[in-house]
Amino acid sequence: MSQITQNILETRLSAADYQKIMRLDNPAMYDFIATYIDLCSPKKIFVGTDTLGDIRYTREAALRNREEAKLGIEGHTIHFDGYYDQARDKAQTKFLLSSDKDLGPELNMINREVGLKEIFHLLTNSMAGHELFIKFFCLGPTHSPFSIPCVQLTDSAYVAHTEDLLYRQGYQEFIRQGRKAKFFKFVHAQGDLEEAVLRLLVSKNIEKRRIYIDLEEEIIYSVNTQYGGNTIGLKKLAMRLAINRCSKEAWLTEHMLIVGIHGPGGRISYFTGAFPSMCGKTSTAMMNGETIVGDDIAFLRLIHGRVRAVNVESGIFGIIDGINDVNDPLQWRVLTSPAEIIFSNQLVTEDNIIYWNGKPGEIPTVGVNYSGRWYKGKVDKDGKEISPSHKNARFTFCLDILDNVDPLVHDPVGVELSGILYGGRDSDTSVPVEESFSWIHGLITKGACLESETTAATLGQEGIRVFNPMSNIDFLSIPIGRYIRDNLKFGEKIKNPPRIFGVNYFLKDRDGQWLNDKNDKAIWLKWMELRVTDEVDAIRTPTGYIPTYQDLKVLFTRVLHKTYPKKEYIKQFTIRSSENLAKINRMMTIYQTRVLDTPEIVFTVLKEQQKRLIDAQAQYGNYISPERF
């Protein structure tokens, strides 16, 4: 440890906190912490360990520092982000890259030297008058081949509290790994604050919001923002670091839920699934009758010849919009019961209870929400009515409070995968559920060709269909072509890789009416579980294997206790040749013009599917009933 580093730590930390840092026995950690203490100049510093007392201090600081306020139900608190700070800022999320490196046109970059100069300027004295929280976490289970220790520096007690709920504590993991620890680093500063709703403090200078990713030093910088997607460093920001690292080490970091689907005789088959935000990801992970391992991010490794996966996190930062007691009973029970939960950007009623869009019961007529004092019919500056709760309003809690948490959620070697599914918002092309022909076919046609309509989870216009390979384009830190190649190579090493499926919860008929009920996904999941265990047959179509009517009819009766008319089956599983061919043309253009170094196998597989569709179209027409196959 240099003399400068030692002087900073000894003079700025309390004796107790200094000893906490020294116990880590990691000179790289000492230098990192000292550098940003000196740069950001906090008024006060707290070093957190894994103890309940330190965790409690962070939780109480969020109230004391006016970033959260208590609600009427024990353990519930409310946080408000600034009015214009309620989604991921994709435009200002950039990779810091040297001039000789390029990630391709789809990824946002800035010259590393220029970006560091800017971010250091914004961070200088940024924590003056604020309290700095130094927190230690672990991505993945501790004492595991998946473990990645992390250190978070933030002057936001809300961010620190949120991460206490979302991640496994990592102080002891740092001690275990000692000087061998290859850790991720996060620096977040709220910047100047201003008083907003319920006198809570929010970031003021949103026009100077920056989220920069330094792949060389594995550091995330975030400044002048509070919204979790921009500030909770261990979440999607850490995904970028992990994707870059795993590409070099031959494992995978994916934007995926992990769920245990229960089959006959007490059997559990584990699936991962990739969905863009607001496309049914959390509700799939939380399906009634199944068990959840994770709802958002997964690490996948090949262990003893089998693909195993862990939940990177140990909590949920979920979208609350539309959650109700009928369709989401597990989440509903937790969200309406005493427990440690952070709510963000919902309506607070006059009796200090949360209301979110779609919550059962009477809609309040007045309250307080992200826009300030709210009343029914209130409009924004453009004349658009302001909903009671923001569309991207969130909740945060630990997985362990759920009734359906899987017993293997913290297993150091994770769960063995039987299947992988990909799904997005697709109103006119794909059938509700379909199995790919092979690992290569599935990764390319279901994963690499995933499209979805934009939602309120990101800044910008909603309802635009966008290219989103593996639902991961926003979080990639390597060129798309290399990312696809990494996935393909991963499967090549496996004798019997997990089967790959496509799902579509948002299919409409030609009159614009929904063809899927919200809870129908339970049937598609049960059918996939029976497929991976070879207990049901399937129909081969030009785009993949689809269920037989008889198998689905039995499942609808057994699982949802409802009849399933054959006419519904035919509407849902009709192959739409023209729409599928149009999608292939879109994908061919994208991979020819927008993606660097596209693997040639992508074009081969797409051309093969194109030919199958053209042949079927010539024989049966544009809309082909499943009975034709």
Q: How many helices (H) and strands (E) would you count in the chain?
A: 18, 35
Lowest mean pLDDT among 130-134, 472-476, 550-554: 472-476
- Check pLDDT > 90 for residue 150: yes
How many residues in the chain? 629
If pLDDT is split at 50, 70 and 90, which confidence band does 520 have?
A: very high
Task: Give this prediction's pTM.
Answer: 0.93
Q: Yes or no: is domain 253-314+407-628 CATH 3.90.228.20?
A: yes
Chosen CATH of 3-67+92-250 out of 3.40.50.360, 3.40.50.1220, 3.30.1130.10, 3.40.449.10? 3.40.449.10
- Count the neighbouring beta carbons within 10 Å of the beta carbon of residue 627: 12
Taking each helix axis from N to C end, the angle separating 238-249 and 480-492, rounded to the nearest 10 degrees, works out to 50
Q: What angle do CA 356, 277, 374 make, to 5 degrees?
A: 25
> What value does the mean pLDDT take over residues 445-469?
78
Average pLDDT, the chain: 94
Q: Specify the pLDDT at position 317.
A: 93
Catalytic residue list contains 279: yes
Out of 138, 150, 246, 279, which one is annotated catalytic? 279
**Residue 464 confidence (pLDDT):** 76
pLDDT at 1 exceeding the cut of 90:
no
Question: For 383-433, how does the pLDDT look when each residue is reduced to its tens digit (9 = 90+)?
Answer: 999 999 999 999 999 999 999 999 999 999 999 999 999 999 998 999 999
| Tokens of residue 402, six digits | 């759920």
Q: Which pLDDT score is estimated for 455?
A: 58
Greatest CA span in the chain, whole angstroms?
Answer: 80
| Predicted confidence (pLDDT) at residue 462 exceeds the cutoff of 70 | no
What residue spans define the domains of the chain? Answer: 3-67+92-250, 253-314+407-628, 317-400
Residue 108 burial by CB count (10 A; 0-12/13-18/19+): exposed, middle or buried? middle
pLDDT above 80 for 565: yes
Report the distance separating Cα 584 and Cα 596, nearest Å: 18
**Of the CATH numbers 2.170.8.10, 3.30.1490.20, 2.30.130.40, 2.60.40.1180, which one belongs to the domain with range 317-400?**
2.170.8.10
Q: How confident is the model at residue 107 (pLDDT cuts 50, 70, 90)?
A: confident
- In this prediction, residue 545 carries a pLDDT of 98
Q: Say if residue 135's pLDDT is above 90.
A: yes
**So what's the pLDDT on residue 612?**
98
Closest-CA residue to 137 (of 234, 51, 33, 29): 234
> For residue 493, what pLDDT band results from cuts at 50, 70 and 90?
confident
For the chain, the straight-line distance linking the first and the last C-alpha, in angstroms and rounded, comes to 70
> What's the average model confidence in pLDDT over 206-224?
96
Q: Taking residues 119-135, what's their average pLDDT? A: 98
CA 409 to chain centre: 17
State the pLDDT at residue 274: 97
